[in-house]
Structure 1
Amino acid sequence: MGVSIVSTGSYVPDRVLKNTDLEKMVETSDEWITTRTGIKERRISEGETTSDMATEAVLRALNGKSSPEDVELIVVATATPDAFFPSTACKVQSKIENKGAVVFDISAACSGFIYALYVADSIMRSKNVKKAVVVGAERFSKIVNWKDRTTCILFGDGAGAVLLEHSDNEGVLGFDIGADGSYGELLAVPSVGSNEEYPFYVRMKGNEVFKIAVRTMVDSIGRVLEKTGLKADDISLLIPHQANIRIINAVAERVGIPKEKVFVNLDRYGNTSAASIPIALDEAVREGKVKSGDLVLMTAFGGGFTWGSCIVRL
């Protein structure tokens, strides 16, 4: 008995913040942002909490496939929870009117969705959980310093979700995940107890992060291909974490996956951290970029540093 992704869903706020809008806020330009990141616009929450966006993504993933009360496990990946506690997963559970499921959050920054998928898959196999929901949801607009032009141009808000079920065919084929905490200060958000004068804002040393991200994602992809006995040519679609177009292009080139097999929506949403892969997966499904039986490779790199790659057959 295997585990498969049976449906997807996503949600992004209505408000669009374009590069031309940022030109009025900080010293930057549309050309500068586009050339260096590939981002043209991003979505910004106006009153919607992380759990609000996550709930909408979950309901869209469940639509026609399962009732909320049948879900036995909810795992939410987020670095921007509504509160320290209760967990965002608890709030989602309440909003979809589910009772009795095992629910919890995972914090692995931009790698969070892969981490959450790994944990949910493991629990389903070991505890005979029949239905689970995995969510990536972020409200990074609330932890961005809008006076810092090096970070405020990058991030956006949104949520994506998948419904997992036991299946006769193996859908989730393999993972590679890991972390190296020695690089933690290169990408971080200080918080309570940090002794920082101005906590709660994203801090990033972009050049250092770029170099390590490319190398780490390429190595992770190599390991998950080896574990599953697959080659780059077998992959129908690569869905990388949507952080920077230069990172995406460098990773794809080094692992030998052509651009036409790489899904990119970074230009419209920016970096939505743990939400970026499930949002992209849902869009790829809805746009017909992948079909039943296709092999999808997902890979991410995030603060921690954390990383993760996963291959699924849809």
Structure 2
Amino acid sequence: MTDDLRTRLANPDDPVLCAGGYLFELERRGYLTAGSFVPEVALEHPEVLKQVYREFVRAGSDVIEAFTYNAHREKMRLIGKEELLEPLNRSALRTAREVAAEGWDRPPLVAGNISNTNIYDPEDPATADQVRAMYTEMVGWAKEEGVDFILAETLYYRGEAEIAMEVIRDADLPAVITFGVFADGRLRDGDDPATAAAALEAAGADVVGLNCFRGPATMLPYLEAIRAAVSIPVAGLAVPYRTSPNEPTFFNMHDHCCSVHLEEGRTFPTDLEPFLCNRHEVADYARRARAIGVDYLGLCCGNAPHYMRALAEAVGRTPPASRYSPEMDKHFLFGTDPSLKRHNRDFADKA
């Protein structure tokens, strides 16, 4: 029997690793529309979604996030396919369970996933009722499909996060709650992330933290503040982009070297490639996050299996994908294997 989330989190020396980032990965592969970002792939190409789930587990993820991010009633209304809401959710959940049951040495947990609704408005009480109804149906389907816990992610209002927590608690499931923090460093209803995280701990969350928007450099200080504010496990899922104090989120990044016109001068979401971290930076993020006490660790939008493997290896894991980790000692120019041809090795500095 698979250990549950709380059992895995009870070992402070062994973090739970979680691969997010399905949204960008499936857009790159040509199975998801940037902008609306609705996971229609769960219905249209479930075999592709299963392969992405599988690749992230092979790379070291302890969790399969059932890809229901943005699969809520408001997004489905926006693309005119509200009647597909439940079938899409159930397909994403079932394919996640199928991959989790594929005979892994360490079976992954399956997380039901709810996300920012983009309709919540603290000045309009009616929107709170709409959000609660949307979350209730999604969490209900996730529970029926046998998830291990619920991840409520990229929540940029404390009030919306508190609604998510109420719904998850009513369903009697473990809860991971993560905020998305915009450039000003606060949630949109005014709280700093650490204060909001403490409030969600008091409301019953099992894990609180941050995901998305911010890369390692601009997320780590906020994770450190959250770690100091709460006693429960902390989650940190940065985006693998080189954000900076001047451009603290991937919404703010400008490519000053690009000679091709970008729409409205904005690189998000389809022109962010120049800002990607390398694998060593991802590994460094993993080590620094662990050093400040992040217990639920991963990457969000922009993630890919090679990044996840680097993160897993940085915390001492050897996932199945490590079978194919780089072996540069065998490279014909830059290797050190004594059987390599000397005239090629001597030429390396001129390559």
TM-score per shorter chain, which class? 0.3 to 0.5
The structure richer in helix per residue is 2
The structure richer in strand per residue is 1
TM-score normalised to structure 2 length: 0.30
Larger gyration radius, structure 1 or structure 2: 2
Higher relative contact order (CA 8 A, sep 6+): 1
TM-score normalised to structure 1 length: 0.32
